[in-house]
Structure 1
Amino acid sequence: MKKMLTNNLGLKLLSVVAAIMLWLIVVNLDDPYTYRDFSPIQVTMLNENVVTDQGKVYRIEDNSDVISLRVWGKKSVLNGLEADNFTATADMEKNIKYDNLVGIEVSCSDKNIRTADIIKSRENVVISVEDASSEQFNVIVKQNGKEADGYLIGTALPEQSMIQISGPASVIAKIKRVEVEIKVTGVNSDRVIHGKLNVLDSNGEAVDTTYLEYTGKTDGMDVTITMLRTKTVPLKIGHTGTPGDGYSFSSISYKPESVQIAGASDVISGVSAITVPDEAVDIEGITENQQQTIDITPYLPDGIRLADDADASVAISVEVEKKQGKTVRIPVSDIGLKNVPRGYEVDFGDVDEIELIVTGTSAELAALNTDEIAVSLDLDGCSRAGTYTQKVEVTFPDTVYSLMDDVEVEFELVKSKSTGNSSGSTGNTSGVSGNTSGVSGNTTTGGSTSGESSSGDSSGTENGSGSDSGTSGEEKKDDSATE
């Protein structure tokens, strides 16, 4: 028997090995032992209070709480598995290392898969631990879109004006603005709109809110809006003051020339322009062109606002021009005489006209109508016959004009040559009254002609009784001479 077992032993062993290999091949062909990859697998953090109870918070770095798995096992077993069959945890109480590494443990719900059959893409979750912080922020409404034509949002009030945000101190420090964003495209009536919250840094970029907690609203806020009507109206801007000596105001211009305003329908309908008071632009004493910017907001009517706040600043340009001179000749016959003494008249001798040098801008001088210039001579204080030199008074049709220099005129005050006057004065007191009335009336009309018109005939025109009295006086004088 022993001889039979040992006879051709090598061949027999080879046959056994070949049979085993053939069996393994058959088995593997039917249900082979292989591997399969599963991802992504989310790692659940356990016992976070180990950190939070110390007034600190943690953040997961580099997305290290998401791993992938390579699992070995029979093909039939692996084919029946999904990512949900695996549980990955990182226990911060028992598996934390070096204060920033938390070991990862993975298990499978299928008992045919052992822990040893699972290979993880990484062994630890990397965390950073820092102080916790909490801060309140104003909630600002951001409008996205364009309202219906002719309308503007007047007020937009979020249901919370403040919101408290807690999280890592380094993240809280980055927050500069909290917005609730609403869509207002085509809106033309009051309503409530739900908006989403945006947390932004100083560059207007979104802050990672993964580790932030909000006190109150977390899924956005409701915003109550009220609508206003809009209207485009012109600006009206004047000026006050006078430029420096030798200069005249030329023009004023401003940009924008019109603005869009907003207000309730019943208020805006009564506004046709925005008028800025002259005092807002003072050009007193300026001798060169001037630019300035004014804020028109204080001059808006009650209940009215600007549709665009950028229009509040209006750029104003004031231009002045150095005055020029223009010679104007006025006949002495056009000079109005005032306060001519009774019984006297004015004789300008050989002087036919006087010269005035009128100053103004080139445009003003071109528009000057010399017929509208009034020149007068006041003889108050000239009571006796003689030669006088007096300054004439000049009145222009507009205050933009002025004289470059005062103008004086030489004249002689002489006794009136009219005998009618003299006889009337001697003959009858009432005749004097009549003549006086005539003199008074004529001296206001001006000219040497007026002086001559102080005769009995003119006084008769002014006052009939005076003229008759004068005649009566003359007749009495003639009768007396005959006697």
Structure 2
Amino acid sequence: MKKMLTNNLGLKLLSVIGAIMLWLIVMNIDDPYTYRDFSPIQVTMLNENVVTDQGKVYKIEDGSDVISIRVWGKKSVLRELDITDFTATADMQKNIKYNDLVGIEVTCSNKNIRSADINLSRENVVISVEDASSEQFNVVVKQNGKVADGYMIGTALPEQSLIQISGPASVIAKIKRVEVEIKTTGVNSDRTIHGKLNVLNSDGEAVDTTYLEYTGKNDGMDVAITMLRSKTVPLSVGHTGTPEEGYSFSSISYKPETVMIAGASDAISKITAILIPDEAINIDGVSENQQQTIDITQYLPDGIRLADETDALIAVSVEIEKKQGKTVTIPVSRIGVQNVPAGMEVDFGDTSSIELVVMGTSSELAALDTEAIAVTLDVGHTRAGNYTETLNVTLPDSGCSLMQDVEIQYKLVKRTAADDNKTTGDSSSTNGSIDSKKENVSDAGNDNTTGNSTPDNTAGDNSSGDSAGESKNDSATE
């Protein structure tokens, strides 16, 4: 037996080794030793209090807390693995190095995989440690979306007007604005809307909030909104005062001419325009164009506000024009004669017309209806004679004015019997005056006839006188 075992021993050992190798080859072909990659795997930080207990915070740099791994093992084992079978940790208490590196350890829940079978894409989580900071910020509401037509949001009140945010000092220093964003598309009634918090820097860009903590509010904030009715109404702007002598108000303009207002339904339904009182624009004594800006919020009715506060200021422009003169000729036939004493009439003599100098702007003068100018003469005398009176001139309501008073000379004469018999003898009318002048010519002829007889009578009287004189002289002689 012993001889049989030792006979050809080398050959037998070679056969055994060959068999083992063949078995290994067969097994490797059927269930080979290979690898499998898994990613991404999030690294969990442990014992963070090592840093935070010192009043500091840390930030993970460059996404170094996310790794990939390569796992070696039997194909049959690897086939059963899932990414959830692996746990990656970085213990800040035992694995921190150089204050900014924390070693990563990866374990597998499958006992067939050892730590040595796992290759990591990186060995450390890179951190930066800095002082912690905490600060309070005002919370403003940002509306996202267009509300229903004819409505606007009256008030939007977040459940907290202040929020405290803690985190790395360098990040806190970047925060300039905290807003809660709500969606308001189609809203037409009072309600509460939940919005998300946005943390912004001075450029309006989002700040990385990964390492920030909001006291009591991590998932957003509720906002209570009230709705108002809105509508667009015109503005009405007037003025007061009188420009410097020789100048006239020409026009007033303003931008915008309309404004959108908001208020409760019952209040806004009564508003048809926003009236700016005349006292707001005073042009007293001015001689050049005026421009000014007016805040119209002070003139809004109670319970009414602007839909957009940026519309509060309007630009007002007042045009002032230097007056010009225009000569208007009025025939005396258009002068209305008033209060002529009974038995008297007015004679304008050789005067056929008068001239009025009317002052106004170019547009006022162009619009002046000269036919509507009324000129009257108030006689105010009772005895015949020559007079000079100031005419009463009434201009139409066109903005024009008379440069100076206009006087006229006339003669107040007695009417004759022939004038009294005329059916057209209206002493207050111009035609009557003209007819009177014609009658005066006729009367003058009659006076001449009378004058011719008068000398005869006078002569007779003188003759009698002479006789009487002669008698007296005779008596005296005797």
Per the normalisation by structure 1, the TM-score is: 0.77
* 2:414 aligns with one of 417, 420, 425: 417
Q: Which moved more, 1:230-239 or 1:43-52?
A: 230-239
CA contact (8 A) 2:88 2:105 kept: yes
Amino acid at match of 1:188: N
Task: Report the 3-state secondary structure (helix = DSSP H, G, I; strand = E; otherwise coil) of the residue aligned with 2:194.
Answer: strand
**1:382-431 residue CA offsets vs partner (Å, 9 max, x unmatched):** 99998776665544333721234x244352676x53589xxxxxxxxxxx
Amino acid at match of 2:278: D
What is the Cα deviation at residue 246 of structure 1? 4.1
In the alignment, the residues of structure 2 paired with residue 398 and residue 245 of structure 1 have an alpha-carbon distance, to the nearest angstrom, of 19
CA contact (8 A) 2:101 2:125 kept: yes
Alignment of structure 1 residues 90-129 onto 2, 5 Å: 90-129=90-129
CA contact (8 A) 2:373 2:394 kept: yes
The aligned counterpart of 2:20 is 20
CA contact (8 A) 1:261 1:307 kept: yes
Identity between Structure 1 and Structure 2 (%): 74
In the alignment, the residues of structure 2 paired with residue 102 and residue 392 of structure 1 have an alpha-carbon distance, to the nearest angstrom, of 110
The aligned counterpart of 1:200 is 200
The aligned counterpart of 2:259 is 259
Distance 1:194 1:389, change over 3 A: same
In the alignment, the residues of structure 2 paired with residue 94 and residue 31 of structure 1 have an alpha-carbon distance, to the nearest angstrom, of 39
In the alignment, the residues of structure 2 paired with residue 286 and residue 123 of structure 1 have an alpha-carbon distance, to the nearest angstrom, of 84
What is the Cα deviation at residue 2 of structure 1? 9.7
The aligned counterpart of 2:143 is 143
In the alignment, the residues of structure 2 paired with residue 362 and residue 76 of structure 1 have an alpha-carbon distance, to the nearest angstrom, of 105
Distance 1:328 1:91, change over 3 A: same
In the alignment, the residues of structure 2 paired with residue 362 and residue 157 of structure 1 have an alpha-carbon distance, to the nearest angstrom, of 57
What is the Cα deviation at residue 203 of structure 1? 2.0
CA contact (8 A) 2:364 2:398 kept: no
CA contact (8 A) 2:152 2:227 kept: yes
What is the Cα deviation at residue 345 of structure 1? 7.8
CA contact (8 A) 2:36 2:72 kept: yes
In the alignment, the residues of structure 1 paired with residue 13 and residue 213 of structure 2 have an alpha-carbon distance, to the nearest angstrom, of 72
What is the Cα deviation at residue 73 of structure 1? 1.4
Task: Report the 3-state secondary structure (helix = DSSP H, G, I; strand = E; otherwise coil) of the residue aligned with 1:171.
Answer: helix
Structure with higher Rg: it is 2
Q: Which moved more, 1:356-365 or 1:333-342?
A: 333-342
What is the Cα deviation at residue 32 of structure 1? 1.6
In the alignment, the residues of structure 2 paired with residue 342 and residue 127 of structure 1 have an alpha-carbon distance, to the nearest angstrom, of 120
Amino acid at match of 1:268: I
Q: Which moved more, 1:391-400 or 1:171-180?
A: 391-400
In the alignment, the residues of structure 1 paired with residue 364 and residue 124 of structure 2 have an alpha-carbon distance, to the nearest angstrom, of 90
**1:168-192 residue CA offsets vs partner (Å, 9 max, x unmatched):** 1111122122122222222222222
**1:323-380 residue CA offsets vs partner (Å, 9 max, x unmatched):** 3332212344655779999999875442222211212233322322334434466889
In the alignment, the residues of structure 2 paired with residue 286 and residue 250 of structure 1 have an alpha-carbon distance, to the nearest angstrom, of 12
In the alignment, the residues of structure 1 paired with residue 320 and residue 13 of structure 2 have an alpha-carbon distance, to the nearest angstrom, of 123
What is the Cα deviation at residue 49 of structure 1? 1.2
The aligned counterpart of 2:241 is 241
CA contact (8 A) 2:335 2:377 kept: yes
**1:298-324 residue CA offsets vs partner (Å, 9 max, x unmatched):** 111110112233433333333344433
In the alignment, the residues of structure 1 paired with residue 400 and residue 207 of structure 2 have an alpha-carbon distance, to the nearest angstrom, of 68
Amino acid at match of 2:282: D
**1:224-261 residue CA offsets vs partner (Å, 9 max, x unmatched):** 12111222222211222334454433332333322222
Alignment of structure 1 residues 440-455 onto 2, 5 Å: none
In the alignment, the residues of structure 2 paired with residue 241 and residue 6 of structure 1 have an alpha-carbon distance, to the nearest angstrom, of 141
Amino acid at match of 1:368: L
The aligned counterpart of 2:397 is 398
In the alignment, the residues of structure 2 paired with residue 131 and residue 446 of structure 1 have an alpha-carbon distance, to the nearest angstrom, of 106
In the alignment, the residues of structure 1 paired with residue 406 and residue 431 of structure 2 have an alpha-carbon distance, to the nearest angstrom, of 17
CA contact (8 A) 2:85 2:108 kept: yes
In the alignment, the residues of structure 2 paired with residue 260 and residue 295 of structure 1 have an alpha-carbon distance, to the nearest angstrom, of 15
Q: How many residue pairs end up in the alignment? A: 426
What is the Cα deviation at residue 16 of structure 1? 4.9
CA contact (8 A) 2:176 2:200 kept: yes
Distance 1:110 1:241, change over 3 A: same
Distance 1:6 1:356, change over 3 A: farther
Distance 1:172 1:378, change over 3 A: farther
What is the Cα deviation at residue 39 of structure 1? 1.4
In the alignment, the residues of structure 1 paired with residue 143 and residue 166 of structure 2 have an alpha-carbon distance, to the nearest angstrom, of 26
